[in-house]
Amino acid sequence: MNITLIPESASTVAPKVDLLLYVLTGLSVFFFFAVVLMVAFLAIRYRKGAKVNRHLEDPDNKTLELTWTIIPTILALGIFFWSAMVFFDISRVPEHGLEVLVTGKQWMWKIQHPNGKREINELHVPRGQAVKLTMTSEDVIHSFFIPAFRVKKDVLPNRYTTMWFEPTKVGSYHLFCAEYCGTDHSRMVGKITVMEPEDYQRWLAGELTTAAAPASSGEKLFAKLGCVTCHEGQSPRGPVLAGVFGTTVNLQNGESVTVDENYIRESILNPQAKLVAGYPPLMPTFQNQIKEQDLFTLINYIKSLKGDKKSGSQS
Ligand code: CUA
């Protein structure tokens, strides 16, 4: 049997998390023994009846007090800033990652790759490349946890959360749901398979389960759901979507909002929530009418639209 203290370390952030953990553990062990040994020593030395000098020489020892104030302060602040840097590393999603959709559902993980390929309770990724997971849930709160990568994030209904990692070692790793989500929570597990980039490309190209790549199927959805009738053409009744992703738009209520995945998602499901200034509330809701995976495909399609809008919005 192979028992290890901590799981294998297989992502770029894993060694950073581990080092921090080792130092914290080391410091705790050191101070534990320092305190316990000191208590034991003093308890024995100054026990009742022992013939020792009980006279306090200097009740106001500045040097001692400064030492036990300054050293722990430096240690605590040092650990705070160090942890914050590791936390930022884990939180900051790199610009160019593989975009994978994760949908949690009682009790399984559904995965969709950039080319439309889908899998369940399994995620294949290439080694040495950043992978960005956009995650949502169809029911309750789940949590996507890959111990070997030292990453974990809650997966919530009605919104996207994102998480990223870059695998460093080829192999197979555990995937867990780390949030109690009902009867079969403990069985909501899966496997992450890290492959060499060439193998991954071969795997990705092989036996595609869905017909088309998301960009073109996104285009089809966009037409099928009738989005084109208002969001394209000569005199559109809704905002033109080309080039809108990542920009800031002004809303009817005087506020403004940055167009990101969550905003587009909300605007499809609940169009009246944050209405863009200058447009009437015409759009119907698509709540309960569009599946999570289709919704994501649609959002990716809108993201992929490059408009000539950019030139006009510079002033
Ligand atoms: Cu899903 Cu626990």
- Tell me the pLDDT tens digit for each residue of 69-83: 999 999 999 999 999
Question: How remote is the CA of residue 107 from the centroid of ligand 1, in Å?
Answer: 6
Cα-to-centroid distance, 157 and ligand 1 (Å): 12
Instruction: Give me ligand 1 centre to Cα 180, in Å.
Output: 5
Q: Mind spelling out the 3-state secondary structure of the chain? A: CCCCCCCCCCECCHHHHHHHHHHHHHHHHHHHHHHHHHHHHHHHHCCCCCCCCCCCCCCCCHHHHHHHHHHHHHHHHHHHHHHHHHHHHHHCCCCCCEEEEEEEECCEEEEECCCCCEEECEEEEECCCCEEEEEEECCCCEEEEEHHHCEEEEECECCCEEEEECECCCEEEEEEECCCCCCCHHHCCEEEEEECHHHHHHHHHCCCCCCCCHHHHHHHHHHHCCHHHHHCCCCCCCCCCCCCCCCEEEECCCCEEECCHHHHHHHHHCCCCCCECCCCCCCCCCCCCCCHHHHHHHHHHHHHCCCCHHHHCCC
Asked if residue 175 has its Cβ within 6 Å of ligand 1, the reply is no
Residue matched to tokens 């101070």: 31
Q: Report pLDDT for 41.
A: 96
> What was the pLDDT predicted at 213?
57
Q: Which residues contact 86 (CB under 8 A, 6 or more apart)?
A: 13, 16, 17, 20
pLDDT of 181 strictly over 60: yes
Whether pLDDT at 151 is above 90: yes
Q: Of all atoms in ligand 1, which is nearest to the CA of residue 185? A: 2
CB 103 near ligand 1, within 6 Å: no
Which atom of ligand 1 is least distant from the CA of 182? 2
Q: Which of 48-57, 127-136, 299-308 has the highest mean pLDDT?
A: 127-136
Nearest CA to ligand 1 atom 1: 142
Q: How far apart are the CA of 146 and the centre of ligand 1, in A?
A: 13
CB of 188 shorter than 6 A to ligand 1: yes
Distance 138 CA to ligand 1 centre (A): 12
- Does the pLDDT value for residue 115 go beyond 90? no
Q: Determine whether the shortest distance from the Cβ of 181 to ligand 1 is under 6 A.
A: yes
Does residue 209 carry a pLDDT above 60?
Answer: no
Nearest-atom number in ligand 1 for the CA of 142 is 1
Instruction: Give the model's pLDDT for residue 313.
Output: 37
Closest CA to 251 of 276, 272, 270: 276
Report CA(133)–ligand 1 centroid distance (Å): 17
Specify the ligand 1 atom closest to the Cα of 155. 1
Query: What integer is the mean pLDDT of 192-197?
Result: 93
> What average pLDDT does range 293-313 have in this prediction?
69
Q: What is the pLDDT of residue 216?
A: 64
User: From ligand 1's centre to the CA of 177, what distance in Å?
Assistant: 4
Q: Does 146 contact ligand 1 (Cβ within 6 A)?
A: no
Give the predicted TM-score (pTM) of the model: 0.70
Q: Is the pLDDT reported for residue 156 higher than 50?
A: yes
Q: Cα–Cα distance between 210 and 54 in angstroms, integer?
A: 83
The pLDDT of residue 135 is above 60: yes
Ligand 1 proximity of 105 Cβ (cutoff 6 Å): no
Model confidence at 59: pLDDT above 50 = yes
CA of 249 to the centre of ligand 1 (A): 36
* Residue 309 confidence (pLDDT) above 70: no
- Cα(245) to ligand 1 centroid in Å equals 32
Q: Is 108 in the pocket of ligand 1 (CB under 6 A)?
A: no
pLDDT class of 210 with cuts at 50, 70, 90: very low
166 lines ligand 1 (CB under 6 A): no
Least confident of 24-38, 131-145, 231-245, 264-278: 231-245
Distance (angstroms) between ligand 1 centre and the Cα of 162 equals 17
